Amino acid sequence: MTVFEPIFIGTEFNPANTATVYKGGCLDLLASVPDESMQLVVTSPPYNIGKEYEKRLHINEYFEQQREVIHECIRVLRPDGHLCWQVGNYVDKGSILPLDMILYPIFRDAGLKMRNRIIWHFEHGLHCRRRFSGRYETILWFTKEDNYYFDLDPVRVQQKYPGKRHFKGPRAGQYSCNPLGKNPGDVWIIPNVKSNHVEKTIHPCQFPVELIERLVLSLTRPHDSVFDPFLGVGTTILAAVKHDRKGHGSEVVSEYVKIAKERIQKLADGRLRTRPMNTPVFDPKGAGQKLTNAPWLREEVSIEPRLF
């Protein structure tokens, strides 16, 4: 977006709004959204793990609730549009149930076609004692039809060896890679929003903006509309508006709604700090941080000579 461009943040759905931040349940907002009007629906629903904003349900009840919302999201999707459902694990007495496995039949039975199951890998989170700590979640990306919009160029990433050339054949000597960069693949290494992330708010599990920017830039055109039924603190709308798209969503918690509106306004005023796309993941060793020295290893070195 052009910085300082005036934007309009509505509280009820109107296709002309730059952003709609609806305070209330997603099914209520969806009821006011016309059929086939959204190019992208992207969201991270509650995982039913007892976070402060959700009531833990029996898994069957959770499935039925999700089915109702997903069907409504499919109704509002344009024929060449996309639906991206980002989920982690449901945990029951220490046993994990990957939510994408549970929810997949809903999308399949509705006739959607899965294009990628993107692995979002991050380094930080709870440390588990009786299993390996969870360090990825997934994004299930579906289209309604085979003739879908997809533009790889704005989301290409740098090649490992951009200076590599063809060594034989008619193109010998020419650079072999695409100068715009390579396909980012389906494993995305993007830091999650923990305490010292520049985008951190009070929300316990907000999206990093760059995760959604990649989807917005590859799956939508400028001025298209993007929808997030479980909006949280408005990250999906930020990623959309930042790139001249429109963003609409609903959130039940008043405090998150307030923060979402503030963040969108800050973006429009050029005051919102976000982690830029494709910034390499921070390497504490490379940065020369002293905390990466293990004191017990230093001791071992000093003890060794005494053994001989």
Ligand X SMILES: C[S@@+](CC[C@H](N)C(=O)[O-])C[C@H]1O[C@@H](n2cnc3c(N)ncnc32)[C@H](O)[C@@H]1O
Question: Is residue 205 at the binding interface for ligand X, with CB under 6 A as the rule?
Answer: yes
Q: CB atoms < 10 A from the CB of 200, how many?
A: 13
Q: What is the size of the binding site for ligand X (CB under 6 A)?
A: 20
What's the rounded Cα separation, in Å, for the pair 38 and 28? 16
| Alpha carbon distance 179, 266 (integer Å) | 34
| Residues counted in the chain | 308
Site string for ligand X, 43-72 (x = CB under 6 A): -x-x------xx------------------
Q: Provide the minimum distance between the beta carbon of 191 and ligand X in the complex, in angstroms, as a whole number.
A: 14
Interface with ligand X in residues 12-41 (CB under 6 A)? 25-26
Residue numbers 255-294 binding ligand X by CB under 6 A? 256
Q: State how far the Cα of 160 lies from the Cα of 176, in Å rounded to an integer.
A: 12
Based on CB atoms, which residue is closest to ligand X, 59 or 177? 59
Distance CA 227, CA 242 (A): 15
Helix and strand element counts for the chain (H, E): 7, 11
As a dihedral over the C-alpha atoms of residue 281, residue 283, residue 289, residue 295, rounded to 10 degrees, the angle is 130
Q: Which is nearer to ligand X, 25 or 181 (CB)?
A: 25
Of 62, 122, 142, 207, the residue at the interface with ligand X (CB under 6 A) is 207
CA distance 95 to 271: 43
Q: Which stretch binds ligand X (CB under 6 A): 205-213, 219-227, 263-271, 276-284?
A: 205-213
Binding to ligand X (CB under 6 A) within 221-260 occurs at: 229-230, 232-233, 235, 250-253, 256
**Residues in touch with ligand X (CB under 6 A):** 25-26, 44, 46, 53-54, 203, 205-207, 229-230, 232-233, 235, 250-253, 256
